[in-house]
Amino acid sequence: MLRIEYSDYEALRAHGEQTYPNECCGVLLGKSITEPGIASMNSVQQIVRAGNTRTDSAHNRYHIAPQELVKIQRQARTAGLDIVGFYHSHPDHPAQWSKTDFAEAHWIGCSYIITSVEKGKAMTTNSFLLTGTEEDNKKFEDEAIEIMMAHIDNQKGEA
Amino acid sequence: MKIHIPTPLRSYTGGNETVTIPGTTVDAVFTQLTTTYPDLKQHLFTPEGKLRSFVNVYLNDDDIRYLDAQQATAVKDTDELTIIPSIAGGSPAVAEEIALPKLSNEEIARYSRHLILPEVGMEGQQKLKAAKVLCVGTGGLGAPLALYLTAAGVGTIGLVDFDVVDESNLQRQVIHSQSTVGKLKVDSAELMLKGLNKNVNIIKHNTMLTSANALEIFKDYDVIADGTDNFQTRYLVNDACVLTGKPNAYGSIFRFEGQASVFATKEGPCYRCLYPEPPPPGLVPSCAEGGVLGILPGLVGVIQATEVIKLILGIGDTLAGRLLLVDALGMNFRTLKLRKNPQCPACGTHEIKELIDYDQFCGIEKPTSVGPLEVARDKAVAEAAIVDGIPQITVETLKKKLDAKENIFVLDVREPHEYQIANLGVPLIPVGSIESRVAEIASHKNDEVIVHCRSGARSQKAALALKAVGFTNVSNLAGGILAWADKIDPTMPKY
């Protein structure tokens, strides 16, 4: 399961709308929680926007420069967080992983969020957990997203 | 030195984010790292010992792949190595990459002859269901194309046409029928296609394909099938295919001959590589003027449909890089090799970055009543009393003059085979022979001469030619013999 704050969830969807018709991409920072008796959970505490370096085919490809990733990882470390996943958008395509997504996914145990953006409007957001132990047996599993509304409820309560 | 381990690999380093490994070179550090944590080795290196292609290693802020050997070799204890697998992906460029749609039991029964072909099979049939094909034109070529694609199970078919069904279409446009004469072609075609296969999703574009809308229409499709019969639209379709990166299953026909190819694939040539420029206007007549054997577009359109299916399934060798020539009279099929032209302004140098004015490019005036799909390349004669110094007279005026037995000389400038279909009982000299045969009618030089053809375009040319050789009083019959059949003699056949 993936747990994410409502504001982060909305922000990553909005990112896809802003970069439309090109793909957006970014990194999910947080903690991977494994407790006995329950399935592992990636808990997102911060999202970091990344630049899509695929200028040649940005509408249907994304790539995060490794150097940018090194910086993001360093930033995460400073904050005591890990990279727990990535997000990107599919302009005018379903929120379903493609062959390319699968072939290029190497972060086993991480969540890959995909948002379909139709005609500039963010539609469906799905998360897929890359499971397995190595390249040869990795696979994407549908992953439930738990959206944390707590902060919003609090704000409402105070108002 | 410190090595930062990415999340997925921490299960092999005892959950540690950072491990400290002694060593003075990158190689030594890696050797020590994989000795300490042996399970890491297969995740970082190929069996041949090369760093896996998707694994990036950064020494501080530099990719070790781009450091020269010496820099990469020498490391200090204060340096940091970061192992970072790559992050990339993307939405499917073509429909086949997405999870394919499932087939219903009804569809499985319907497509069973495909399903038992190993080259198609379940996956191929699902690819067809997921595919979106745009048929530009629902005429002679578009008819068999759309029908066979629909029968084959292509999930979404777009139709571009703005014309209405005319009786003269039915000799070859088998997607339309007697009961739909007068209806919009896209509506008529939809009726037939839905009747053939209820599963097909038809998207109707009841519009003229133009530079303003082509890219917008094309973007939703995987393959474009060009079934147009004029050069403007052909260049427009080609350039739009190159710009949007969609393959173009091309076909064209004239009289007894046809051509087919696949243009604008990633590797292959485009229509402009074959014909950088259009022929001068009027040189190549349209089907409306030159005629066409009705079955020929059936033959060529089915070849286009075959290529579309092969493109979707990814099987066989398509006609990309080859031009198929069909000669229906000799019943010969030949293929010519086509090369991609590196200087091609569309697919070579990419000089063409947007769609242009194709009417101007092809040297013709904007289409008026005749549309781009069945357009006459001849300049349509403007509706004015006098055009280029030639008075345009109506069929009613001609009738009055004939009834009053005025001293007029009426000349038919059509071809002899047209004369057999219908005529006004007047002398015939085809427009192409006017200048050489002018002596035959020299006695009428100072008479009132009225020239007519089928619809008024060729006779305008003939009238200008007569005026140029000294005829003093030449008029053109506006609307030609078709107008005569409409307004004066309803028993006369129209063609």
Tens of each residue's pLDDT in chain B, 495 residues? 888 888 888 888 888 888 898 888 888 888 888 888 888 888 888 887 788 878 888 888 777 776 666 555 678 888 888 888 887 776 664 433 456 888 999 999 999 999 999 999 999 999 999 999 999 999 999 999 999 999 999 999 999 999 999 999 999 999 999 999 999 999 999 999 999 999 999 999 999 999 999 999 999 999 999 998 888 899 999 999 999 999 999 999 988 989 999 999 988 999 999 888 887 776 666 666 678 899 999 999 999 999 999 999 999 999 999 999 999 999 999 999 888 888 899 998 888 988 988 888 887 655 443 333 333 334 455 667 888 888 999 999 999 999 999 999 999 999 998 898 999 999 999 998 998 999 999 999 999 999 999 988 889 989 999 998 999 999 999 999 999 999 999 999 988
> Tokens in use for B116?
């038992």
A140 touches A97 (CB < 8 A): yes
Task: Output the DSSP codes for A34-54.
Answer: --TTS--EEEEEEEEEE----
Measured distance CA(B310)–CA(B333) in Å, rounded: 19
Instruction: State whether residue A124 sits within 8 Å of chain B by CB.
Output: no
A74 CB-contact burial (10 Å; exposed 0-12 / middle 13-18 / buried 19+): middle
- Comparing CB atoms, the residue among A66, A93, A112 nearest residue B91 is A93
What contacts B31, CB < 8 A, 6 or more positions away? Answer: B23
The residue from B287, B344, B347, B362 that is catalytic is B287
> What's the confidence (pLDDT) of residue A69?
87
Flag whether residue A123 sits within 8 Å of chain B, measured between CB atoms: no
Catalytic residues of A: 23
Chain-centre distance for alpha carbon B27: 56
- Cα distance from A154 to chain B (closest Cα, Å)? 33
A62 DSSP β-pair partners: B89
Beta carbons within 8 Å of B104's beta carbon, 6+ residues apart? none
In chain B, whose CA is at the least distance from the CA of A63?
Answer: B88
Long-range contacts (CB closer than 8 Å, 24 or more residues apart) made by A67-73: A67/B58, A67/B61, A67/B63, A69/A27, A69/B56, A69/B84, A69/B87, A70/B58, A70/B61, A70/B82, A70/B84, A72/A27, A72/A29, A72/A48, A73/B4, A73/B6, A73/B82, A73/B84
A88 contact residues in B (CB cutoff 8 A):
89-90
CA nearest neighbour of B426 among B395, B451, B461, B405: B451
Give me the residues of A, 139-158, that contact B with CB < 8 A.
none
Ramachandran angles phi, psi of B250, nearest 5°: -105, 145
Q: How many residues does chain A have?
A: 159
Q: Does A60 touch chain B (CB under 8 A)?
A: yes
Other CB atoms within a 10 A radius of the CB of residue B461 amount to 22
More confident residue, B98 or A61: A61
Neighbours of B418 (CB within 10 A): 17
Report field, pTM of the whole predicted structure over 0.80? no
* pLDDT score of B494: 87
- Name the nearest CA neighbour of B409 among B426, B433, B428: B426
Residues of B in contact with A84 (CB under 8 A): 7
DSSP secondary structure string for all residues of B11-54: GGTTT-SEEE---SSHHHHHHHHHHHSGGGHHHHB-TTSPBPTT
Three-state SS at B476: strand
- A95 vs B: CB within 8 A: no
* Nearest CA-CA distance, residue A135 and chain B, Å: 8
CB contact under 8 A, B92 and A91: no
Give the CA distances from residue B271 to residues A113, B238, B251, B375, in Å, rounded to whole numbers and listed in that order.
41, 6, 11, 20
Beta bridge partners of B137: none
> Any CB–CB contact under 8 A between B101 and chain A?
no
* Token pair in block for residue B46: 């190929």
Whether the CB of B93 is below 8 Å from some CB of chain A: the reply is yes
User: Mutate which of B3, B91, B216 to test chain A, going by most A C-beta atoms within 10 A?
Assistant: B91
Chain B environment of A108 (Cβ under 8 Å): 8
Who contacts B166 (Cβ-Cβ below 8 Å, separation ≥6)?
A: B181
**Interface contacts (A, B; CB < 8 Å):** 116
Does the beta carbon of A105 lie under 8 angstroms from any beta carbon of chain B? Answer: yes
Query: 3-state DSSP call for residue B212?
Result: coil
Interchain proximity A134–B43, CB inside 8 Å: yes
Which residues from A are below 8 Å from B43, CB to CB?
134-135
Residue environment code for B84-98, b if the CB has 16+ CB neighbours within 10 A, otherwise e? bbbbbbbbbbbbbbb
pLDDT for the residue numbered A59: 73
> Using CB atoms within 10 A of its CB, is residue B417 exposed (0-12), middle (13-18) or buried (19+)?
exposed
Sequence-separated (6 or more) residues with CB below 8 Å from residue B258:
B251, B252, B296, B297, B299, B300, B303, B325, B326, B328
Q: Are B458 and B440 in contact (CB under 8 A)?
A: no
For position B202, what pLDDT does the model report? 96
Chain A positions in Cβ-Cβ contact with residue B11 (cut-off 8 Å): 109
By the CB < 8 Å criterion, does A112 face chain B?
yes
Measured between CB atoms, which of A54, A69, A96 is closest to B98?
A96
Rounded to whole angstroms, the Cα distance separating B445 from B462 reads: 14
B46 close contact with A: CB closer than 8 A: no
Closest Cα in chain B to A66? B86
With residues binned 3-state (H G I as helix, E B as strand, rest as coil), the percentages for chain A, rounded to 5, are: 30, 40, 30
Cβ atoms of B66 and B58 closer than 8 Å = no
Query: Does the beta carbon of A83 lie under 8 angstroms from any beta carbon of chain B?
Result: yes
Strand arrangement of the beta sheet that strand B55-59 belongs to = B18-20, B2-4, B80-85, B55-59, B62-63
Nearest CA in chain B to A108: B8
CB A93 within 8 A of CB A72: no
Contact assessment for residue B165 and residue B206, using Cβ atoms and an 8 Å cutoff: no
Residue A66 has its nearest CB partner, among B8, B43, B58, at B58
At residue B71, the pLDDT reads: 53
Q: Within 13 Å, how many C-alpha atoms sit on residue B30's CB side?
A: 21
Q: Tell me the chain B residues in contact with residue A142 when contact means C-beta distances shorter than 8 Å.
A: none
Most confident by average pLDDT, A53-62, A122-131, A148-157, B365-374: A122-131
Chain A positions touching B95 (Cβ under 8 A) are none
Tokens of B399: 């009738």
Residues of B in contact with A125 (CB under 8 A): none
Q: Over 80: is that where the pLDDT of A155 sits? A: no
CB B61 within 8 A of CB A70: yes
Question: Is-contact B117 A112, C-beta < 8 A?
Answer: no
Q: Backbone phi, then psi, for B10, in 5-degree steps? A: -70, -20
Q: Could you tell me the two tokens for B62?
A: 């530099």
Which of B11, B52, B89 minimises the CB distance to A100? B89
Specify the pLDDT at position A35.
67
How confident is the model over A4-26, as a mean pLDDT? 92
Whether B15 has its CB under 8 Å from any CB of chain A: the answer is no
Residue B362 carries which DSSP code? T
Looking at residue B97, what is its pLDDT?
Answer: 46
- Between the alpha carbon of residue B322 and those of residues B111, B272, B274, B455, the distances in Å are 30, 14, 10, 38
Quick check: B8 contacting A, CB < 8 Å? yes
